Amino acid sequence: MFPKLFKAWNVTHLVFEKDTDTYARERDQEVMKAARDAGVEVITKYGRTLWDSDDVVKKHGGKPTMSITQLQTAGHKVGPIPKPIPPPRSLPDPGDMPVDFEATRPDSEVDVNAQWRETEEKAYGSIAGPEGDFAIETLQELGYPAATTPHRGGETVALKMLDKIVADQPYMATFRKPRTSPAAFEPQSTTLMSPFLHFGALSVRQLYWAAQDAVVAYSKRGKKDASSPPESLTGQLLFRDMYFAAQAATGAPFSQTAHNPHCRFIPWHLPSKLDPATKLATFEYETDSAQAERWFQRWKAGTTGFPWIDALMRQLRVEGWIHHLGRHSVACFLTRGGCYIDWERGADVFEELLLDHEPACNAGNWQWLSCTAFFSQYFRCYSPISFGRKWDKNGDFIRRWVPELKSMDAKYIYEPWTAPISDQRKAGVSVQGDGLGAVREGTYPKPMFDFSERRRICLASMKQAYSIGLFGDDARVLDGSWRDLFAGSKEDLDMMDRLDSDDGENADDGDHKERVVAGKKHASSTPATKGPKQGTLDNHFKKQKT
Ligand SMILES: Cc1cc2nc3c(=O)[nH]c(=O)nc-3n(C[C@H](O)[C@H](O)[C@H](O)COP(=O)(O)OP(=O)(O)OC[C@H]3O[C@@H](n4cnc5c(N)ncnc54)[C@H](O)[C@@H]3O)c2cc1C
């Protein structure tokens, strides 16, 4: 299509935003070649990240940035984070843009999205869209069912939301991610800016400088409790840049274990199948364990029998967004803290369901949570029972997303299988069934395993994998001979004294040190409840008004 457009519109320059995602790099190479062939000058600018990720990689010796400190050091060598520039006051007249030429359909009819289409897609109907205004197709025009998410896109909405957040200077300036509640809903406790950043509806530099300016102005007022990276809002954006630069340095293997020298090899269940030609993971996987497959299907459907996990997975399916610590909970549960299933399975599901899906951030965070890269304290594990309860004693978040349990006594809502039959009856729900297939009305499934037992098995297995110490590019990982090294029992109960429930307080701290307690090593942690209480955005707005 581009060669046709270049000619029909007398194009002299092609200007676009640089994109370091693997697929985007390949695509852009093709487009740039077509432009060069047509004598069109190409200008690319970076704008998706705070710094140009390729520059960060150069300043970091060509290596991926594996911690926020490494990102900051390399970033400072690149230079100060640029301020956002104002929109242009006018645009040059593009001249005639005839659209009356035939579109050429691609030779192959491969349609990777076919499984989600309900009707025929009409995207190829006309280059300028049905109204001739170059509008983006609606989901229905692309053949998909209507969106279920209440979140709406576009720059106008993004700027309105940003204005609201900026108006609450204390919220912005004292934002500490581990103190924001994963159970808050309508409104959520964090900014919900991620989908806008992903789609380019909001400049990441605009958000960064709004947050930084708020910190400066707040501190100037004599306030002492402004936050700083990694927990602050600016810190969150640095994490984003860290993952982008790590991906830019690693290339396509960043989103998988195989051939990725920075990702630990753990013999997870349901590993990805590889395409021998490209060495890249296909979306298919080995079903090495029927039980793991059942657990995976239940996790995906939000019918694990653990209400906290199910509520999060159902919110994700309907809204396309969940809080960061909610993502921590479900990712830890699927991998090293429950099912021992490959993080790539979880990343695939997130890719399908997230509104803010960002290849670098998704793969990177899944590696963090599965302790395969970026973070290694695998003995810190999120409990699907006590972690949610810490934030939401009454279980309101569960009542919202798992309506089967809406009348369950708060005492049992995180563990409904422990409710006596009389309490189940009173709540109008019966805990029964395996959570597969259609769930009978008036029932909620039994938990798919004993969490304490699974946590112990996972921990012992993680310990074994860490001591063997293979990474994704090891010949033994690639030729399958890793199996000889992992032969024997995975049970290793001497790890029991190191079991530690993660309360999320150090969720942003990949480097945080262990402390020694009574002769045993533990990760240092203080209950989040000790800090100043932080409410939802709505509370902040209410406070503003009064
Ligand atoms: C398993 C897992 C998968 C994830 N997948 C994605 C993804 O595909 N796309 C994505 O944008 N984020 C992803 N995240 C990171 C994070 O959960 C979301 O960015 C955040 O929850 C978005 O909500 P918010 O805009 O309210 O965040 P806020 O807390 O308000 O933060 C502001 C912005 O900082 C950035 N940010 C915050 N935390 C992170 C982080 N840990 N890593 C990277 N950027 C961050 C986001 O752009 C976010 O919009 C993932 C986290 C986990 C644990």
Average confidence (pLDDT) over 471-482: 96
Radius of gyration of the chain (CA): 25
Task: Look at residue 506 and tell me if it is in a domain.
Answer: yes
Which residues lie below 8 Å from residue 289, measured CB to CB, with a gap of 6+?
Answer: 269, 270
**Is residue 192 located within the same domain as residue 294?**
no
* 320 CB neighbour count, 10 Å cutoff: 19
Calpha distance 183→389 (Å, rounded): 9
Question: Which residue in this structure is represented by tokens 């645009």?
Answer: 91
Q: Which of 200, 233, 250 is the last residue of a domain?
A: 250
**Is residue 292 located within the same domain as residue 246?**
no
**Is residue 515 located within the same domain as residue 392?**
yes
Task: Look at residue 485 and tell me if it is in a domain.
Answer: yes
**Is residue 26 located within the same domain as residue 164?**
no
Which residues lie below 8 Å from residue 468, measured CB to CB, with a gap of 6+?
Answer: 482, 485, 486
519 or 80, which is more confident?
80
Q: Which domain holds residue 469?
A: 251-546
Question: What is the percent of the chain with per-residue pLDDT over 90, rounded to a whole number?
Answer: 78
> Distances from the Cα of 145 to the Cαs of 115, 136, 138, 148, 242, in angstroms?
12, 16, 10, 9, 35
Q: Whole-prediction pTM value? A: 0.91
**Is residue 351 located within the same domain as residue 390?**
yes
Q: What is the CATH number of the domain that holds 374?
A: 1.10.579.10
pLDDT at 515: 35
**Is residue 240 located within the same domain as residue 292?**
no
| Strand positions, DSSP E, 373-498 | 380-381, 430-431, 443-444
Task: Look at residue 230 and tell me if it is in a domain.
Answer: yes
**For residue 332, what are its two tokens?**
């830890």
pLDDT at 322 over 90: yes
Question: Which residue in this structure is represented by tokens 């960064």?
Answer: 208
Q: Which of 188, 313, 324 to mutate to test the pocket of ligand 1 (most atoms within 8 A of CB)?
A: 324
Question: Which residue owns the Cα nearest ligand 1 atom 5?
Answer: 362
**Is residue 213 located within the same domain as residue 359?**
no
Contact indicator for 331, 343 with CB cutoff of 8 Å: yes
Calpha distance 290→330 (Å, rounded): 20
Average confidence (pLDDT) over 126-149: 85
Contact indicator for 253, 310 with CB cutoff of 8 Å: no
**Is residue 350 located within the same domain as residue 435?**
yes
pLDDT band at 220 (very low <50, low <70, confident <90, very high): very high
Count of domains for the chain: 3
327 lines ligand 1 (CB under 6 A): yes
Question: What is the percent of the chain with per-residue pLDDT over 70, rounded to a whole number?
Answer: 90
Helix or strand or coil: residue 415? coil
Contact indicator for 274, 282 with CB cutoff of 8 Å: yes
Q: What is the CATH number of the domain that holds 241?
A: 1.25.40.80
Could you read off the pLDDT of 331-366 as tens digits, one per residue?
A: 999 999 999 999 999 999 999 999 999 999 999 999
Task: Look at residue 10 and tell me if it is in a domain.
Answer: yes
**Is residue 457 located within the same domain as residue 500?**
yes
123, containing H or E segment: none
**Is residue 241 located within the same domain as residue 390?**
no
Task: Look at residue 139 and tell me if it is in a domain.
Answer: no
**Is residue 310 located within the same domain as residue 183?**
no
**Is residue 257 located within the same domain as residue 243?**
no
| Strand positions, DSSP E, 257-352 | 272-274, 281-285
Question: Which residue owns the Cα nearest ligand 1 atom 44?
Answer: 240
Could you read off the pLDDT of 289-304 as tens digits, one per residue?
A: 999 999 999 999 999 9
Task: Look at residue 120 and tell me if it is in a domain.
Answer: no
Contact indicator for 230, 239 with CB cutoff of 8 Å: yes
Could you read off the pLDDT of 245-266 as tens digits, one per residue?
A: 999 999 999 999 999 999 999 9
Could you read off the pLDDT of 93-114 as tens digits, one per residue?
A: 888 888 887 767 777 777 878 8
Quickly list DSSP for 64-106.
---SHHHHHHHHHHH-PPPPPPPPPS-----------SPPPPP
Task: Look at residue 225 and tell me if it is in a domain.
Answer: yes
Task: Look at residue 101 and tell me if it is in a domain.
Answer: no
Average pLDDT, the chain: 89
Contact indicator for 116, 144 with CB cutoff of 8 Å: yes
404 lines ligand 1 (CB under 6 A): no
Question: Which residue in this structure is represented by tokens 């563990």?
Answer: 415
Q: Which of 212, 233, 365, 502 to mutate to test the pocket of ligand 1 (most atoms within 8 A of CB)?
A: 365
Torsion angle of the four alpha carbons 357, 361, 366, 369, in this order, in degrees rounded to the nearest 10: -130
Contact indicator for 193, 241 with CB cutoff of 8 Å: no
Torsion angle of the four alpha carbons 537, 539, 540, 542, in this order, in degrees rounded to the nearest 10: 120
Calpha distance 201→204 (Å, rounded): 9
Q: Which of 181, 194, 255, 387 to mutate to test the pocket of ligand 1 (most atoms within 8 A of CB)?
A: 194
> Distances from the Cα of 545 to the Cαs of 167, 539, 542, in angstroms?
11, 10, 5
